[in-house]
Amino acid sequence: MSAISAPAVASKRIRHSSPVFTAVNCTLLVLFTLLIVVPVWNIVISSFSSSGSLGEGVVFWPKQFSLDNYKSVLADSGMWNALFISVAKTGVGVIFHTLFCALFAYPMSKAYLKGRKLYSAMGITTMFFSGGMIPTFLLIKSLGLLNSFWVYIIPALFSYYDVIILMNFFRQVPDELVESAKLDGANEWRIFGSIVLPLSMPGLATIGLFHGVAQWNDFMTTKLYINNESLYPLQMRLYDIIARSQAASSNGGNIGQVVLDTTTRGVRLSTIIITILPILVLYPFVQRYFVSGSLAGAIKG
Amino acid sequence: MSVKRASRKLLPAALAALVALTTLTACGVDNAYTKNTVSALPAATYQAKADQPAWKSDKRKDNKLLWYVNADWWNKSWGKDMVTKQVKKDLNLDIEFVTGDDSKLNTYFAGGDLPDVVTVLDANSRVVKSANNWAYPLEDLAKKYDPYFTKVASKQTLDWYRLKDGKVYGYPSYSNTSQDYKSGAIHASTGFIIRKDVLDAIGPQDFTTREGFMAGMKAIKEHFPDLVPFGFNEFNGGNGSMDDALQNMLGVPTESAGHQYYDRRLDREYLDWLNTFRQVHASGGISDDSFADDNDAFKEKLSTGKYASILIKSLVNQSVPIQTWASKNPDKQYVAVDGIRSSKGLKPTLTETGLSGWTVSFISKQCRNPSKAIQAFTYLLSDYGQMLVNFGIEGDTYETRSDGTVRWTAKANDIRLNNSKSWQNDYRIGEFVLFGHDKYKALNPDSFADAVKQIQAFGQPYLTTQYDTENVDPDVGTLQARANSAISTKWATTLVSLMRSGSQQDFDQVLKDYRDFLGSNRIDEINVIRNQKIQDNRKRLGL
């Protein structure tokens, strides 16, 4: 398409639609966007406000611009290590979890697998019943996973929800394709690795994204099983900072006349921005792969 | 899907679930640690003397303790600041702090793998009540390793924490004895406060009577339409001020004749005042936000002077925002005045932390180094340890005056006033409080923010102990405790509804609903338990 013809096509399209519809549509969209953007904007602005100007109600521009909230959060010496742990556990977790679930889902998608119904009944059971916090703790303890990086990865390897999603993707791979590969002498591993996995990229991307977000946000695992601060992910470190800021603002006795640079809410707001920032930065890129993956799947499937 | 097919699919799932459930219930925890006793512990490797703390004679190196504090906000660093560096040096002790909340504590108990020292924040919790199962008795441990402990521990506090077997397992921080109350070391932290400029503008008002209070709020509304005329602490949770703080202001008794439990919530005078607040709310004197604002929002409003007047509780926790406001607006700072008083002339009975104190620390039966643990308790409870924790090192950060009071040195004061970060991180003075005590804090007038001193002094004459009715609620886990917690929840909503009622009829109806709720929720059984516990408390106090 040449550069000149593109606007022409666009203007033609607009002429065809009703101007009333366009106006209503645009207004609704703008209102809806505002509904989402305004609270986020308020959080961003408040996080850049000095402690004294918070509490003035909802503002859209900082009354007294200040970086104190960020300074107090980023001054924490363990922040970079925590960021590394978060990235590492998300990266490693996504790869292992996706691979593990795919390895389970592939045979489960085959009708000729013996005992398939029993496996699926067992799998479904895990969706409705869990051991509960204390038995799980005992299990993790006896596996020797307390205070270990692998407690983020191993207990999270398997999810039957994700297996079901993957099974559905694997089932869409045409049987004829698998048959012909078999005739050419490929074994199940070869079929899985060279045919089924590449054709199911959208499914794998979905699972990867689900698990990635879950890993990034999870801090309960750390709270229950990790005492070693060098294994704290970002979420837990920020949780700690907020808790301590609360203690500082309550400890009037030792602070005397000193006016604190930050308030608990200020710190909390800046941590919100810090946690969502990496996702905000990454999402456009991840989403591009995600979308093209889906399309590729749609064409080939 | 036909029923037959459905049942065929569900059956394996149900079977699998059954198997899973039975395996789970078979899971037991080996509580081997419950059997450990003090007599089975090895003898001390040093000479334990009655007149000298054991840490002075114990020269062992490289001692380690894992210390769990059931509070997420506890600062886990060790040996990096002035205070803990000194403790570390004196005791040859490395402490690894672990923090968490109740779920973490439960997993510790369930896992049968307890830390060496455990600090909890609820003296009424089941963990504390059953401490004989999992902690060493402190006096026995002291007898074996550090007899000096009994010199620094307060007898009244020990008696208060004695369990039915006659032994004491945990020691609290901020346990205020009747002696402490008498000595003037305890400061009031409840009061009716009002902005100075507001007070000047509205002219003489009588906030002590209900009519006067309403007239006062009306005057504030006229002169300062932008302010909230009347505020109170966070409504949710333990620090709300419209409940017991208000009752204390009115001097509502805690017991009726013969030391029987008295339901203060149904006291006539208290309810009449609530009715007054209802009217104040109806005329716009109380903001609806006040019922929803959390502690952080309250603090922010306090630090920006949004309230004209407040019934404030827990002043120590609020002194940072009060001081923030006062520093920026010296002529508008909050001051305590007479207000909200009993019509029958009862004096306010303001109370502070009692014998139960705040945090309670235990040495678990799995402690790897019980002799060092009891030494740490003794050290932190002693004069020497308390002065270190509260004021740092003599000559360096503080000086003792001839009258026994303490002043910061010029250098320390400069950091305290101008570098709050360094004061917190490098010195950590006044923050390492697992065995803190008000009487030491009181030695230094600068322990408290200037802006709260007038308020503290104002309430001082009204300080009263309420030991009899401390911790008298039914034990956790009983039917009565469940009923009582349902009543507390109901009361929380009732209190809001009472204050927000549109009319007298609504007010009466809400109150009637609450009374009916009490009747159908074992209130009689709960009161029997409370009366019994009041008797027990009196026995402990030797009354």
pLDDT tens digits for B488-509?
Answer: 999 999 999 999 999 999 999 9
Q: Which residues of B touch A134 (CB under 8 A)?
A: 106-107, 110-111
Kindly tell me if the per-residue pLDDT of A8 is higher than 70.
no
The pLDDT of A241-258, averaged and rounded, is 65
Task: Give the residue among B327, B104, B393 at the shortest CA–CA distance from A255.
Answer: B327
Residue B245 token pair = 């703080």
Of B312-326, B346-360, B369-383, B387-401, the one with minimum mean pLDDT is B312-326
Predicted confidence at residue A261, as pLDDT, reads: 67
- Positive or negative: CA dihedral B494, B498, B502, B503: positive
The pLDDT of A16-27, averaged and rounded, is 88
Predicted confidence at residue B210, as pLDDT, reads: 96
Rounded CA-CA distance B484/B486 in Å is 5
Check CB contact under 8 Å for B103 and A133. yes
Rounded CA-CA distance B330/A106 in Å is 73
Question: Across-strand partners of B170?
Answer: B362
Q: How confident is the model at residue B512 (pLDDT cuts 50, 70, 90)?
A: very high
Q: How confident is the model at residue B327 (pLDDT cuts 50, 70, 90)?
A: confident
Q: Which residues of B touch A264 (CB under 8 A)?
A: 296, 299
Kindly tell me if the per-residue pLDDT of B184 is higher than 90.
no
Predicted confidence at residue A251, as pLDDT, reads: 62
Kindly tell me if the per-residue pLDDT of A57 is higher than 70.
no
Interface test with B, best of A257, A260, A265, A269 (most B CBs within 10 A): A257
Rounded CA-CA distance B130/B107 in Å is 16
| Cβ–Cβ under 8 Å, residues B435 and B173 | yes
Q: What is the pLDDT of residues B469-489, one digit of tens each?
A: 998 999 888 999 999 999 999
Kindly tell me if the per-residue pLDDT of B23 is higher than 50.
no
Q: What is the pLDDT of residues B210-258, one digit of tens each?
A: 999 999 999 999 999 999 999 999 887 555 899 999 999 999 999 999 9
Chains A & B: contacts with CB separation below 8 Å: 156
Q: How confident is the model at residue A51 (pLDDT cuts 50, 70, 90)?
A: low
Q: How confident is the model at residue B463 (pLDDT cuts 50, 70, 90)?
A: very high
Q: Which residues of A touch B15 (CB under 8 A)?
A: 121
Collapsing DSSP to helix, strand or coil, A256 comes out as coil
Q: Which residues of B touch A249 (CB under 8 A)?
A: 299, 320-321
One-letter amino acid of B430? G
For helices A116-128 and B3-26, what crossing angle results, to 10°? 60
In this structure, the dihedral spanned by the alpha carbons of residues B69, B377, B355 and B434, taken in order and rounded to 10 degrees, is: -30
Predicted confidence at residue A54, as pLDDT, reads: 63
The contacts of residue B405 (CB under 8 Å, 6+ apart) are B443, B444, B445
Say yes or no: B75 contacts chain A, CB-CB below 8 A.
Answer: yes
Check CB contact under 8 Å for B20 and A239. no
The pLDDT of A100-122, averaged and rounded, is 92
Predicted confidence at residue B106, as pLDDT, reads: 87
Kindly tell me if the per-residue pLDDT of B449 is higher than 60.
yes
Q: How confident is the model at residue B324 (pLDDT cuts 50, 70, 90)?
A: confident
**Strand locations in B196-267 (E):** 228-232, 255-256, 260-261
Burial A197-216 (b: 16+ CB within 10 A, else e): bebbbbbbbbbbbbbbeebb
Predicted confidence at residue B3, as pLDDT, reads: 44
pTM: 0.83
Q: What is the pLDDT of residues A214-227, one digit of tens each?
A: 999 898 999 889 98
Check CB contact under 8 Å for A255 and B74. no
Check CB contact under 8 Å for A252 and B316. yes
Q: Which residues of B touch A135 (CB under 8 A)?
A: 24, 27
Say yes or no: B297 contacts chain A, CB-CB below 8 A.
Answer: yes
What part of B 443-462 touches A (C-beta under 8 Å)?
A: 446-450, 452
Opening angle at CA B522, ends B517 and B527, nearest 5:
110
Interface test with A, best of B19, B316, B320 (most A CBs within 10 A): B320
Rounded CA-CA distance B449/B410 in Å is 17
Kind plus residue range of the DSSP H or E element containing B94: strand B93-99
Pick the residue from chain B with its C-alpha nearest to A248. Answer: B424
Burial B268-290 (b: 16+ CB within 10 A, else e): ebbeebbbbbbbbbeeebbbeeb
Rounded CA-CA distance A138/B24 in Å is 11
HEC states along B382-448? Answer: CHHHHHHHHHCCECCCEEECCCCCEEECHHHHHHHHHCHHHHHHHHCCCCCCCCCCHHHHCCCHHHC
Task: Give the residue among B394, B480, B486, B390 at the shortest CA–CA distance from B436.
Answer: B390
Q: What is the pLDDT of residues B360-372, one digit of tens each?
A: 999 999 999 999 9
Predicted confidence at residue A295, as pLDDT, reads: 46
Residue A100 token pair = 């593990």
The contacts of residue A13 (CB under 8 Å, 6+ apart) are none
Tell me which long-range contacts B283-286 makes (C-beta under 8 A, separation of at least 24). Answer: B283/B214, B283/B217, B283/B218, B283/B221, B284/B221, B284/B229, B285/B214, B285/B217, B285/B218, B285/B220, B285/B221, B285/B229, B285/B230, B286/B228, B286/B229, B286/B230, B286/B231, B286/B499
| Cβ–Cβ under 8 Å, residues B76 and A229 | yes
Q: What is the pLDDT of residues A78-93, one digit of tens each?
A: 888 999 999 999 999 9
Q: What is the pLDDT of residues A129-184, one digit of tens each?
A: 888 888 898 899 899 999 999 999 999 999 999 999 899 888 888 888 888 889 99
Q: Tell me what the pLDDT averaged over chain A comes to.
A: 82
What backbone phi and psi angles, to 5 degrees, belong to B64? -130, 140
DSSP A111: T
What backbone phi and psi angles, to 5 degrees, belong to B171? -125, 130
DSSP B147: T
Percent of chain A at pLDDT exceeding 90: 34
Kindly tell me if the per-residue pLDDT of B22 is higher than 60.
no
Instruction: Give, in order, the Cα–Cα distances in Å from A87 to each of A93, A152, A294, B291.
Output: 10, 12, 25, 41
Q: What is the pLDDT of residues A174-210, one digit of tens each?
A: 888 888 889 999 899 999 998 889 888 888 888 888 8
The pLDDT of B429-442, averaged and rounded, is 89
Q: Tell me what the pLDDT averaged over chain B comes to.
A: 89
Check CB contact under 8 Å for A256 and B449. yes
Q: Where are the alpha helices (DSSP H) in B210-252?
A: 210-223, 244-249
Percent of chain B at pLDDT exceeding 90: 69
Smallest CA–CA distance, residue B317 to chain A, in Å, is 4
Predicted confidence at residue A52, as pLDDT, reads: 62
| Cβ–Cβ under 8 Å, residues B337 and B90 | no
Predicted confidence at residue A202, as pLDDT, reads: 80
Question: Across-strand partners of B67?
Answer: B97, B117
Between the two ends of chain A, the Cα-to-Cα distance in Å is: 28
DSSP symbols for B303-359:
HTT-EEEEEE--HHHHHHHHHHHHHH-GGG-EEE---S--TT-PPP-B----TT-S-
Residue B243 token pair = 């409940």
Q: Where are the alpha helices (DSSP H) in B132-183?
A: 138-145, 149-152, 155-160, 178-183
Rounded CA-CA distance B427/B350 in Å is 33
Say yes or no: B26 contacts chain A, CB-CB below 8 A.
Answer: no
Rounded CA-CA distance B174/B530 in Å is 24
Predicted confidence at residue A32, as pLDDT, reads: 95
Predicted confidence at residue B18, as pLDDT, reads: 52
Q: How confident is the model at residue B277 (pLDDT cuts 50, 70, 90)?
A: very high
Predicted confidence at residue A272, as pLDDT, reads: 87
Kindly tell me if the per-residue pLDDT of B19 is higher than 90.
no
Kindly tell me if the per-residue pLDDT of A1 is higher than 60.
no
Check CB contact under 8 Å for A224 and B104. yes
Q: What is the pLDDT of residues B521-543, one digit of tens each?
A: 999 999 999 999 999 999 988 88
Say yes or no: B103 contacts chain A, CB-CB below 8 A.
Answer: yes
Q: What is the pLDDT of residues A252-266, one digit of tens each?
A: 545 544 456 677 788
